[in-house]
Amino acid sequence: MNTAKKKIWAIAGGKGGVGKSFLSTNLAIDLAQKGNEVALIDADFGGANLHTFFGVSYSRVSISDFIKSSQLALEDIMIPTGIPGLRLASGAHDVIGSANPKQMQQSRLIKAIQGVQADYVLIDLGAGIASHTLDLFLMANSGILITAPEPTSVENTYRFIKSAFYRKLKNVMVHSGVRAFLEQVTESKHEDNPKTPAELIYKISEINAQAGETLKYEIAAFKPKVVLNQVRTPNDVRVGFSMKQASMKYFGINLDYVGFVEYDSLALQSIRARQPVLIHAPDAVVSGSIRRVGHNIRQNFHLVPTN
Ligand SMILES: Nc1ncnc2c1ncn2[C@@H]1O[C@H](COP(=O)(O)OP(=O)(O)OP(=O)(O)O)[C@@H](O)[C@H]1O
Ligand SMILES: [Mg+2]
């Protein structure tokens, strides 16, 4: 294990039910099967269910305990999954109190995740754009967005990208005039507000040229990865390319389309059998696709259209 080179992957998606937990679980298994030490963190505070994917019906300890007790380290609540090399920090059991961790608890969780001893840490995030979800997404080396090829899911993904980007800017734009302007832009719906990051750069450069340069750099460095899940047709596969184009055109943000996973009834069957699909049906097409997505994320590859 080389903790100095530890990689953190955050798996998010604006919409519920698109397959975030299904893919987090199986991507973590793939990494463990390749000989890595992997920690999987269930950070879906309102609807934690990763234990079910492994057939673990109940964990005595969970993130709730970590959040409640400053004496506990994240390592103290990790449980074995039955897969060699893969440990799980089971999600919060009690919704009240843990569903929206306070700022201090969030910072402690982020620090603890950074300190986990592993080659890879995978974080399964809840749906939506809660501040703790955005912060965990932004602290990762790879922020991975799971999207279904449906207009509602695509729309929520754009909303997530925009929210994450604006949150990132608020964290890096320390100049008070620029911060005030950013708050005005993100918190009010005035018609003069910049519509795209390109316009935002222009307006911010007018307030403070150095902040404008920082903004250009931050936009170039912000490269969320997108995985299309539950694809059924070649047209569904192409949705990833359209999203990449639209994100560049409207936000100036570069998405890396890292792969797609087919719709397969084995996904549900494996959950019912309480066995992750990579274990339940390792030779199935869907398992091969998940391994390919993992490979592309590790190698920093992305898909290009073939026509
Ligand atoms: N590739 C797939 N083919 C078929 N069904 C799938 C696929 N991926 C996920 N599913 C099904 O979709 C359902 C939701 O998956 P999952 O729980 O992973 O979504 P989620 O995004 O984590 O949801 P939530 O926002 O509630 O946490 C599950 O029943 C799962 O079996
Ligand atoms: Mg989930």
pLDDT (tens digit per residue) in 147-193: 999 999 999 999 999 899 989 888 888 788 888 888 888 777 778 88
Mean pLDDT of 211-232: 93
According to DSSP, the residues that pair with 39 across neighbouring strands are: 87, 121
The amino acid at residue 200 is L
Q: How far is CA 23 from CA 9, 10, 142, 260, in A?
A: 12, 11, 14, 11
Is 127 a pocket residue for ligand 1 (Cβ < 6 Å)?
yes
Ligand 2 (ion): residues with CB under 5 Å are 20-21
Mean pLDDT of 71-85: 94
* Count of the separate structural domains present in the chain: 1
**What is the model's pLDDT at position 98?**
54
Pocket perturbation via mutation, ligand 1, pick of 15, 22, 227, 291 by most ligand atoms within 8 A of CB: 22
Task: Calculate what percentage of the chain has a pLDDT beyond 90.
Answer: 63
**What is the model's pLDDT at position 48?**
82
Mean pLDDT of 89-94: 80
Q: Which residues contact 238 (CB under 8 A, 6 or more apart)?
A: 305
Q: Are 40 and 88 in contact (CB under 8 A)?
A: yes
Query: CA–CA separation, 147 vs 128, rounded Å?
Result: 13
Q: Is the pLDDT of residue 76 over 90?
A: yes
Residue 276 — φ and ψ, nearest 5°?
-55, 150
Q: Are 238 and 301 in contact (CB under 8 A)?
A: no
Of 84-98, 142-156, 233-247, give the lowest mean pLDDT range.
84-98
Which has more confidence, 47 or 213? 213
Is 47 a pocket residue for ligand 1 (Cβ < 6 Å)?
yes
Atom 16, ligand 1: which residue's CA is nearest? 19
Range of the domain at 268: 3-148+264-299
202 Cα–ligand 2 center, Å: 38
Q: Of 30, 47, 28, 94, which Cα lies nearest the Cα of 67?
A: 94
Is 73 a pocket residue for ligand 1 (Cβ < 6 Å)?
no
- Whether residue 226 lies inside any domain: the answer is no
- Whichever domain contains 128, its CATH number is 3.40.50.300
- Whether residue 291 lies inside any domain: the answer is yes
Atom 13, ligand 1: which residue's CA is nearest? 17
Query: CA–CA separation, 11 vs 23, rounded Å?
Result: 8
**What is the model's pLDDT at position 113?**
96
